Chains A and B, each alone.
Chain A
Amino acid sequence: AQSVTQLDSQVPVFEEAPVELRCNYSSSVSVYLFWYVQYPNQGLQLLLKYLSGSTLVESINGFEAEFNKSQTSFHLRKPSVHISDTAEYFCAVKAGGTSYGKLTFGQGTILTVHP
């Protein structure tokens, strides 16, 4: 079984500051890792994912995450945030190989960007 821990429930930052949202996972098998974003009153949207290959993955809106197998982490970073990045962010893990598709989610981190 897999589990995910998001280390911060809330992260307040000022606009144009850098941000890191932390995610640690545990699993006895190889995993696929995901970050989803939920804007206020909306559903979840996939932000980025790590399946294999390069351990650094990027999204189209400037976020990036690095898969660190030795530390079992998949932290999300952005060098300069905007007001529009205010949202709740979820880290999720899925067992690799012939998985039936179950995603295990972390508790979520609310990112609030202040002007």
Chain B
Amino acid sequence: EAQVTQNPRYLITVTGKKLTVTCSQNMNHEYMSWYRQDPGLGLRQIYYSMNVEVTDKGDVPEGYKVSRKEKRNFPLILESPSPNQTSLYFCASSLFTGAGTDTQYFGPGTRLTVL
């Protein structure tokens, strides 16, 4: 089954404790992206990647890191989480044909609480 998976689905942590949220897709997609969802703000892009070893900042990258060492994986790293990073996080992937018509597929989400 074609899908985007995220782990963990739920995480409660404390300020300053490094954490990683994993994202994996089995569709051989070039493009992957991380979003955070906050009430009243919709989804905002954190980072994206157009292929292996190619990443760039989205609209709200502060406090986050990413890496793309393999095509299927795109982990999100919070080196020193703070309470304002409490949010619902989504990973997404799509083909990248360059025409802009590629549909993004979303993972199930990771609900992060930073105390």
Chain A residues in the interface with B (C-beta under 8 A): 4, 6, 9, 32, 34, 36, 42-46, 49, 51, 90, 92, 94-103, 105-108
Closest chain A residue to B100, Cβ basis:
A99
B42 surroundings in chain A (CB, below 8 A): 4, 6, 90, 105-108
Closest CB in chain B relative to A84 CB, distance in Å: 19
* B contacts with A, residue count (CB < 8 A): 29
Q: With A98-B99, A101-B31, A101-B96 in contact, is A43–B106 under 8 Å at CB?
A: yes
Q: Point out the residues of chain A lying under 8 angstroms from B99, CB to CB.
A: 97-99
The CA of A100 and the CA of B107, in the complex, are separated in Å by 20
Contact B109 A43, beta carbon cutoff 8 Å = yes
Q: Output the residue of A44, A100, A108 with the most chain B CB within 10 A.
A: A44
Give the residue of A46, A94, A102 whose beta carbon is less than 8 angstroms from that of B48.
A102
CA distance A75 to B32 in the complex (A): 28
B62 within 8 A of A: no
B48 contact set on A, CB distance < 8 A: 100-102
